[in-house]
Amino acid sequence: MKTISAAEANRQFSTVLREVSQGEEFTVLSRGRAVAAIVPIRKSGSDHKTAKQSLLVRLRKQSITGSREWNRAELYND
């Protein structure tokens, strides 16, 4: 993980983003204190699919509640 000042991160933002896209991580300092981290997004399609499946299973087990006697026009009524 690299450390960078907020001012330097501002001046070199394109470079920082390029390095982050290649896996580098940055800690951003403001007046010597760590205030932020710039890290790559961890893309894990399997985590997303697992969470979605878990949610669908849970929702299918729940009973339907509430009234469903409305129409589309009523949803957008001011």
> E-strand spans in 8-55?
26-30, 33-38
pLDDT digits (tens, 9 = 90+) for 23-48: 999 999 999 999 999 999 877 677 88
Whether this model's pTM surpasses 0.85? no
Do 30 and 6 meet the contact criterion of CB atoms below 8 Å apart?
A: yes
- Ranges of each domain in the chain: 2-38
| CA–CA gap between residue 46 and residue 26 (Å, rounded) | 26
Q: Which fold has domain 2-38?
A: YefM-like fold (3.40.1620)
